[in-house]
Amino acid sequence: MPKIIPDVLKNLFSKPFTLKYPSEKREPPEDTRGKIKIDREACIECGICKRVCPPGAISYDDEDKPVIDLGLCIFCGECADACPVNALSRSKEYELGLYERDKAFTK
């Protein structure tokens, strides 16, 4: 028992190795697969994003602009890679917990 007392005291007075999430947040890495952002002004309504989306998470609204269902999206980025005018892009936003299903759409 006496052998562990120095280790216990050392750990008791040292700073923690982990961050106190969510009050302290770390910047996500460059290649983070986060929420897809849509530039509705740049979109040319070609429909390629909808065709290449593996889970079928992309639909079109009344203005023929893409809408992404975040409940279905797997954040693969295929739509952003396929967009010829770069209207879709990946973001580093990964905290997407919601209480209401209506807010799970990106416009």
Per DSSP, the residues of the chain read: -GGGHHHHHHHHTSPPSS--TTTS-PPPPTT---PEEE-TTT-----HHHHH-TT--EEE-TTS-EEEETTT-----HHHHH-TT--EEE-S------S-GGG-EE-
Residue-level pLDDT at 84: 95
Segments forming the whole domain that contains residue 86: 28-106
Say how many domains are in the chain.
1
pLDDT in tens, 10-36: 888 888 778 787 788 888 888 788 889
The answer to whether position 20 is within a domain reads no
CATH of the domain at 66: 3.30.70.3270
pLDDT in tens, 70-107: 889 999 999 999 999 999 999 888 887 777 777 777 77
